[in-house]
Every structure is written in structure tokens, then in C-alpha cells.
């Protein structure tokens, strides 16, 4: 049992979220929207802490390849007086967009670590607190996990594995009132998307977006709002073990 921290009891108790990959575009937007709603956010980065150190955010380094950072995430989160209502797992990394025959096996390991091990390691760090608080967990997958398009093997395989892990975890944690879901967006207009388009040799992103369903990419703001809604809004309180595509292309 943790000793009772008297100072913490005087602290106003807020809804709290952990956002992994909060230094990335989507994690940063989820964090921004949660702060506007007066949540407390434990925001993780791996290599580049955000310059946006707003009040109500605690930045922690978390790297799936460094178990000490996961241990620290566990202790820091367990010591906070707030109510852990949601965990948003936004960490991820793309592939180099080569055919499998030309992809170094190390790339499969690196992409798997960024997209899948981050989720497993974060859950291991947060499980005790999340079970106690009956948290909702949302993993960010991708439509790539099912579309299985050519030249994206490591990323497709990792996001497919992430779906399987989310469904497994939802079954394991149901008895603790923990919900676990996955949102699978298609292309989001973000720095990562522009990096991926460049790797694919796309020189005109506007025309590329025009060829997508509804002639557009998703916007960061709308994806972040959908993430927060799915993880926290009362109308989703029955949803667990589900995969929700957003604007999936064929």
C-alpha cells in the first residue's frame, strides 16, 4: 500500500490523462485539447521534449527501448493525486516505404518497437493505477494495419499486431472496468504524413490529398477530438475491444 500523501489530498483532484508520444503532432493536439478542458496531462516524449510547457502538463521521457523510463512513468503517475481517466497511446513511427525484399530486418524491429512495444510498455507501467481508477485506454493504429498496401511492410505488420494486442488487453482488463480501444485513422495532414509522402516520391501533396476519399486528408484537430470523445465521452462507456477506422481508404 502506498502511504497517504497529505499534501496531495489538499491538491484539487482533476481528471488526468497519460499521452504517450505527446511530442508528436497528434499527441500534442490531444494534450492541447485536454488542457483546454482543464485536465491534467502526463505527456511523454522520447527524443525531443516539447517547447510548449503549459501549466497542467508534466513532461516525462518515455522510450520503449529504455525500461527505466517506463519505471519512472509508473512512479510519477502513481504519485499524482488526480484521477487517471484516460491513456492515449500516440507513439509510433513509419516505415521507409520499401518493398519487403529491400527492407533491412532491423527496420521491422524498430518500427515494431515504436508502434507496439510502446503500447505494451506503457500499459505495464500504468496498469495498477489504471485498474484502480477504471481508466479508458485508446491506442492509435492506422488504416494501414488492414489495407496492407505494397511497400509498407514493417508499418502494416506493426499496426496489425497493435490491433491484436488491443483486443487481447480489452479481454484481460474487462474485469477491472478498464476499456481498451483502437482508432485507425487514414492519412492525417501532419509533418509525419508529409515525411511519408516524400518517401513515396509524392511531389504535389495537394493533388495527392485530392485522390483520397472525400478528396482530403484528415485534420489533426478532428482526429484528436475523435480520440478524446471515444476514450472519455459517456456515450462510449460500453465500447471496449473495438477498432474504429477513420476515413479508411481502400
* Least spacing, CB of residue 118 vs ligand NAP, in Å: 5
Q: Smallest gap, in angstroms, from Cβ of residue 162 to ligand NAP?
A: 8
Residue 42 CB, nearest approach to ligand NAP (Å): 14
| Closer by beta carbon to ligand NAP, 115 or else 232 | 115
Other beta carbons less than 10 A from residue 98's beta carbon: 15
Name which of 7 and 51 has its Cβ closer to ligand NAP: 51
Beta strands in the chain (DSSP E): 15-20, 40-45, 57-61, 83-89, 136-140, 179-185, 243-246
* List of residues contacting ligand NAP (CB under 6 A): 21, 23-27, 45-48, 62-65, 90-93, 113-115, 118, 140, 142, 185, 187-188, 190-193
To ligand NAP, the closest distance from the beta carbon of 127 in angstroms equals: 18
Q: Which residues are paired to 138 by β-bridges?
A: 88, 181
Separation of alpha carbons 222 and 51, rounded Å: 23
Pick between residue 63 and residue 133 the one whose CB is nearest to ligand NAP. 63
Confirm if 64 and 91 have CB atoms less than 8 A apart: yes
Nearest CA-CA partner of 193 in 174, 175, 212: 212
State the residue number with the nearest CB to ligand NAP: 24
- Residue (80 or 111) nearer to ligand NAP, CB: 111
Amino acid at each position: 500500500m502506498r502511504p497517504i500523501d497529505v499534501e496531495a489530498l489538499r491538491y484539487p483532484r482533476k481528471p488526468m490523462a497519460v499521452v504517450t508520444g505527446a511530442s508528436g503532432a497528434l499527441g500534442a493536439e490531444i494534450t492541447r485539447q485536454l488542457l483546454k478542458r482543464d485536465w491534467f496531462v502526463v505527456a511523454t516524449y522520447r527524443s525531443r521534449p516539447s517547447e510548449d510547457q503549459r501549466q497542467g502538463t508534466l513532461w516525462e521521457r518515455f522510450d520503449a527501448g529504455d525500461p527505466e523510463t517506463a519505471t519512472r512513468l509508473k512512479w510519477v503517475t502513481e504519485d499524482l493525486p488526480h484521477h487517471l481517466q484516460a491513456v492515449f497511446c500516440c507513439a509510433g513511427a513509419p516505415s521507409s516505404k520499401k518493398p519487403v525484399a529491400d527492407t533491412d530486418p532491423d527496420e521491422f524491429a524498430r518500427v515494431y518497437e515504436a508502434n507496439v512495444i510502446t503500447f505494451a510498455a506503457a500499459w505495464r507501467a500504468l496498469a495498477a493505477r489504471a485498474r484502480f481508477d477504471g481508466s479508458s485506454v485508446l491506442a492509435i493504429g492506422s488504416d494501414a494495419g488492414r489495407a496492407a498496401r505494397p511497400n509498407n511492410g514493417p508499418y502494416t505488420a506493426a499496426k496489425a499486431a497493435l490491433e491484436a494486442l488491443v483486443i487481447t488487453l480489452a479481454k484481460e482488463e474487462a474485469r477491472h472496468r478498464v476499456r481498451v480501444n483502437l482508432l485507425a485513422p487514414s492519412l492525417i495532414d501532419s509533418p509525419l504524413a508529409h515525411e511519408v509522402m516524400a518517401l513515396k516520391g509524392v511531389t504535389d501533396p495537394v493533388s495527392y490529398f485530392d485522390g483520397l476519399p472525400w478528396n482530403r486528408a484528415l485534420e489533426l484537430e478532428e482526429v484528436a477530438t475523435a480520440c478524446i470523445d471515444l476514450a472519455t465521452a459517456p456515450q462510449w462507456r460500453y465500447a471496449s475491444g473495438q477498432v474504429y477506422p477513420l476515413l479508411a481508404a481502400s
